[in-house]
Amino acid sequence: MSILIDKETRLLVQGITGKEGSFHTRQCVAYGTGVVAGVTPGKGGQDLDGIPVFNTIQSAVETTGANASLIFVPSAFAADAIMESAAAGIPLVVCITEGIPIRDMLKVVQFLKRNKCRLIGPNCPGVISPGRSKAGIMPGQIHKEGSIGVISRSGTLTYEVVNQLTQNGLGQSTCIGIGGDPVIGSSFVDLLKLFDEDPETQGVVLIGEIGGSEEESAAKYVKDHFSKPVLGFVAGLTAPPGKRMGHAGAIISGGAGTAGEKIAAMRQGGIHMVEHLGALGRTARDLFA
């Protein structure tokens, strides 16, 4: 099995006619994803390689039965795009867009609480269930179908970790980039719960970074509730306090959120940790064998 997306996913792409949207839509289709519609206001009636384009999410859902949305809308309009998908009844939204203002995302989070919609992102690479479906921008060829779940705050590190897993003979059930912004839709804990319920996921790799408290919350959940082995890595051991490192959420503030603190908390939670990324694949092979 997989979580979030599978062969039955009917994907809608918001911003499908833009440069990034059209390129990655074609990549998703080539991977085997069922892309059934696109939405670009004012361009309804057009198509992309036979995929119909609609002016609104509601009309696209009513016509095609889309049950997931992938967003490539500019940051100024992305919050509204997320909420429009949720209002149309789409249960899963994946937002690739980066640079969405925090105040906009706070409004989105409150809106989603009133709707049955799960958000992945923003500022993330998306979701892939190898051999089944891809809703995002990750390179499909490095993935291999299998039983290891991957959850990461970093898109680039996700690719490195997946490549190491594949090279060590470990396929993945689902790989998710949750995003590196201060306010995101789904946390480590939210997704750990889904992986714990998936009978075909044998274990999980958790990739964290400095800033925030996602890793500490995940460590507590793993210790108290998670029934499968977890392997972890935290980027940013040498990061200086007060300086943002890449992602908007990757900043040590007030002496909290350091890599050392996170690694210690994760170890205390029973998570097997690697401090050198190059050793992750070999460690995973030994742990999950």
CATH of the domain at 20: 3.40.50.720
Do 72 and 206 belong to one domain?
no
pTM of the entire predicted model: 0.93
Do the domain assignments include residue 126? no
**Which domain, by its residues, includes 71?**
10-120
Q: H-helix or E-strand containing 209?
A: strand 203-209
Active site residues: 247
Q: Which of 62, 91, 120 is the last residue of a domain?
A: 120
| pLDDT at 254 (0 to 100) | 45
Asked if the model's pLDDT at residue 272 lies above 70, the reply is yes
Do 25 and 91 belong to one domain?
yes
Do 153 and 107 belong to one domain?
no
Do 116 and 142 belong to one domain?
no
pLDDT digits over 94-139, tens only? Answer: 999 999 999 999 999 999 999 989 999 999 999 999 999 999 999 9
Residue 278 makes CB contacts below 8 A (sequence gap 6+) with none
Q: Which of 120, 154, 172 is the last residue of a domain?
A: 120
Do 31 and 60 belong to one domain?
yes
Q: Pick from 179, 178, 175: which is nearest to 165 by CA?
A: 175
CB-based contact 204:148 (threshold 8 Å): yes
Q: Tokens 């996700």: give the residue.
A: 158
Do the domain assignments include residue 147? yes
Do 174 and 232 belong to one domain?
yes
pLDDT digits over 54-73, tens only? Answer: 999 999 999 999 999 999 99
Do the domain assignments include residue 132? no
The Cβ of residue 289 has, within 10 Å, a number of other Cβ atoms equal to 9
Do 40 and 143 belong to one domain?
no
Q: Pick from 26, 140, 135: which is nearest to 91 by CA?
A: 135
Residue length of the chain:
289
Q: Which of 70, 87, 120 is the last residue of a domain?
A: 120
Do 99 and 152 belong to one domain?
no
Q: How far is CA 43 from CA 14, 39, 237, in A?
A: 12, 8, 47
Do the domain assignments include residue 1? no
Q: Name the H helices within the chain.
A: 19-31, 57-64, 75-87, 102-113, 155-167, 188-197, 214-224, 259-268, 280-288
